[in-house]
């Protein structure tokens, strides 16, 4: 029997998983204004005026201009369909702002300020972790350690000895990022302060390791 066949007979493949959780330290909001008017210039002006007020009020909260940018700007004709007939209704202007701040506790206040000053579209709220790469490395170490411990238990169960250095290590997933939080409902806009739960962000890693044993 050659060396390659012997190695294959004494090889063990195990899967290891690691998981690290952390409270988010950054929030991205996507919100803005949707206006409609029979005249496109009026729809644009109404939208621009409202967006300008929203931006100014958000800046008063200490949010820098570099943290506010236009994410979507769209102008389109709108139609109604009555008994199969297309009837022109007017023009719709959509202007969405992306707002990025490092104070997650400001999320609810930012939404309140925007809505109070004319925002009628809250497209998304994303909570993120700035140092996700470091957290993934921690999760990866956990996954490797778990795989090694699993291999040792399996080999020792039948009286074998695990060789310390693995033959092969494969990352099955790059950073898998999950965020758990409570969903925001539109009815919350009726309250004095919109309750936003930032929850926790979880980063997972998964590896496949090939070991030899004797």
Q: What is the mean pLDDT of the chain?
A: 87
Residue 105 pLDDT: 87
pLDDT at 181 over 50: no
101-112 pLDDT, tens digit each: 998 889 999 999
CA distance 214 to 209: 17
- Cα–Cα distance for residue pair 176/14, rounded to 1 Å: 20
Q: Are 12 and 154 in contact (CB under 8 A)?
A: yes
Can you give the pLDDT at residue 176? 53
Right CATH number for 26-128 from 3.40.50.10210, 3.30.70.2970, 3.90.420.10, 1.20.120.1760? 3.30.70.2970
- The pLDDT tens digits for 134-177 are 999 999 999 999 999 999 999 999 899 999 889 999 998 765 55
> What is the reported pLDDT for 61?
94
Query: Is residue 3 pLDDT above 60, yes or no?
Result: no
Q: Which helix (H) or strand (E) holds 128?
A: strand 121-128
Fold topology of 11-23+131-212 = Translation Initiation Factor IF3 (3.30.110)
Look at residue 183 and tell me whether its pLDDT is greater than 70: no
Q: Is the pTM of this model over 0.85?
A: no
Domain boundaries, given as residue ranges, for the chain: 11-23+131-212, 26-128
Query: Can you give the C-alpha Rg of the chain in angstroms?
Result: 27
* Cβ neighbours around 133 below 10 Å, total: 10
What is the Cα–Cα distance from 178 to 157, expressed in whole angstroms?
36
Record the tokens describing residue 170, joined without a space: 């494969």
Query: Environment class of residue 177 by beta-carbon count within 10 Å: exposed (0-12), middle (13-18) or buried (19+)?
Result: middle
Task: Write the pLDDT tens digit of every residue in 27-80.
Answer: 999 999 999 999 999 999 999 999 999 999 999 999 999 999 999 999 999 999
Count of CB atoms within 10 A of residue 89's CB?
13
Quote the percentage of the chain above a pLDDT of 90.
Answer: 68
């Amino acid at each position: 029997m050659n060396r390659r066949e012997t190695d294959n007979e004494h090889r063990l493949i195990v899967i290891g998983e690691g998981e690290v959780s952390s409270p988010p330290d950054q929030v991205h909001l996507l919100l803005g204004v949707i206006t409609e008017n029979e005249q496109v210039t009026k729809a644009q002006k109404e939208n621009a005026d409202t967006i300008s007020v929203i931006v100014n009020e958000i800046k008063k909260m200490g949010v820098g201009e570099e943290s506010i940018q236009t994410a979507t700007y769209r102008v389109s004709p709108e139609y109604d369909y009555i008994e199969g007939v297309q009837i022109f209704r007017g023009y719709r202007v959509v202007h969405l702002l992306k707002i990025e701040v490092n104070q997650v506790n400001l999320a609810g206040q930012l939404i309140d300020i925007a809505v109070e000053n004319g925002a009628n579209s809250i497209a998304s709220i994303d909570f993120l972790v700035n140092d996700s790469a470091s957290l993934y490395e921690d999760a990866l170490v956990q996954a490797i350690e778990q795989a090694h411990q699993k291999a040792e238990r399996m080999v020792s169960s039948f009286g074998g000895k695990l060789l310390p250095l693995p033959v092969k290590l494969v990352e099955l997933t790059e950073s898998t990022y999950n965020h758990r939080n409570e969903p925001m409902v539109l009815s919350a806009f009726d309250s004095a302060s919109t309750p936003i739960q930032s929850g926790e962000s979880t980063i997972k890693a998964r590896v496949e390791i090939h070991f030899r044993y004797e």
